[in-house]
Amino acid sequence: MTRREWLATHANGFGGLALAAMTADAACAPAPPARAVEPLAVRPPHFPAKAKHVIYLYMDGGPGQMDTFDPKPRLAAEHGLPIGMDEIPTTVFNITNKVFAGPFQFKQYGQSGLWVSDLFPHLAQCVDDLCIVNSMVADHSEHTAGNYFIHTGSGFQGRPSMGAWVTYGLGSECDNLPGFVVLDSGLIPPGGMDCFGSGFLPASYQGTLFRRGEHPIADIRPREGRPGLQERKLDLIRQLNRGVVKRLGAVSEIEAAIANYELAYRMQSAVPDLLDLTGETQTTRKLYGLDEDDTAEFGRQCLLARRMVERGVRFIELLTPAREGQDRWDQHQRLAEGHAKNARATDKPIAALIQDLKGRGLLDETLIVWGGEFGRTPTAQTNTGKFDKNTGRDHNPFGFTMWLAGGGVKGGMRYGATDEYGYFAVENKVHVHDLHATMLHLLGMDHKKLTFRYSGRDMRLTDVHGEIVHDILA
């Protein structure tokens, strides 16, 4: 007998041995945890929560803090002069040590009198709902690592996103849509989909990307031509899966696959209904700027975010919009033009989102977070050495601005401060780990207890860091 004949003859015997071992293991295995069987089932928080949902307005690229919400009069007084610091950090070439005042003016708004740049005339009307944190600090000054860090608490690829952690901890109140949704307006951040991944958490918790356009999710419409054919296919799959469970016992992977199939089926009716805006009033369309070229795309995404909150989706992230001639907030050159375009695309829709949620009684239970992966330098970046329309700013993780609204934070307040140039946080520093800890706290979770056993230790979003910023809590 040849070796080939011997292997062919005995192959079934080897397979039988393997199957017997697997069956024995399955029969002796404990029942899978509830998260494996119903990964998005609602779970109680550690303590009473202020917020039920999160809308993360991610301003990819790094808006300049001194151009948006952190005015610095000293920049105008010393425009074009060497900055009064002994040493300044840099991340790329062609940065100067000369102060760049910037092209935007600030005014005070609302009863709180908070300062807002003229980039945001609509958002300025909502300033009494904003908690502006001027003292953010991050660990990375390069986009990819910075994106991973602000999303996952680590500058390295492969860790779970905060949206994944939130849905892992709390599940979702929506049965027909994913618990963590990412709305793409045209620009995926450097680092790609790993910014929204589930890392070592089960795959059910990763962000589901809704592309812009008529078909945001592939295969959302049934392909079967005959009525009832898809239902019969799903019934067969369900029977086969249940048969395996009956023979082998409870297997978490199979239970999760069944849950995913059923969610996908329900999404086929839920997603078209979500995207159908014909029921929205003309007043709402005008509020979000749906019929204006500059605001149509991001306005639609903000309106979809509100509709998702109404349906119970737990975590929604919106990405920076992209149109012809428009880039992220990463203006190493032509800062005046680039920041102005991004602000025109986002200012009115974001203000509409705040007003709409507030008018519907949903802002108090929805935490809105705005910001990028870092800020920008107060010194100029220029290829020509001249201060003109081509002038920009470099990356700056040492002191930048983010703001929060709703969901249990104080409105109409400014927290922390940078130095007179806006370069370094010098008062009440808020590290990214502190931001994550505070967000989880508002959702009713102790960031030290929200853990997942992986690679021999209990992992968490804040790693071994993070302090709750109690001063900004309502």
Kindly list the domain boundaries of the chain, sorted by start residue. Answer: 51-221+295-472
Q: Token pair of 89, please?
A: 């950090």
pLDDT above 50: residue 25: no
Residue 207 and residue 217: Cα distance in Å, rounded? 13
Fold classified for 51-221+295-472: Alkaline Phosphatase, subunit A (3.40.720)
What is the DSSP code (8-state) at residue 391? B
C-alpha separations of 140 from 19, 144, 272 in Å = 49, 9, 40
Torsion of CA 158, 159, 162, 165, to 10 degrees: 120
Residue 88 and residue 120: Cα distance in Å, rounded? 29
Sign of the alpha-carbon dihedral angle for 357, 358, 363, 367: positive
pLDDT the model gives residue 3: 66
HSE at residue 408, side-chain half, CA atoms within 13 A, is 18
What is the DSSP code (8-state) at residue 261? H
Q: Kind of pairing, strands 375-376 and 95-99?
A: unpaired
With b for 16 or more beta-carbon neighbours within 10 A and e for fewer, the 429-441 pattern comes to bbbbbbbbbbbbb
Q: For a pLDDT cut of 90, what percent of the chain falls above it?
A: 71
Q: How confident is the model at residue 9 (pLDDT cuts 50, 70, 90)?
A: low
Please write the tens of the pLDDT for every residue from 265-311: 788 889 989 999 999 999 999 999 999 999 999 999 999 999 999 99
Residues 6 or more apart whose Cβ sits within 8 Å of residue 26:
248, 249, 251
Residues 6 or more apart whose Cβ sits within 8 Å of residue 170:
42, 43, 45, 314, 443, 444, 445
Residue 171 and residue 42: Cα distance in Å, rounded? 5
More reliable by pLDDT, 322 or 343: 343
Torsion of CA 281, 287, 293, 295, to 10 degrees: -120
pLDDT above 70: residue 200: yes
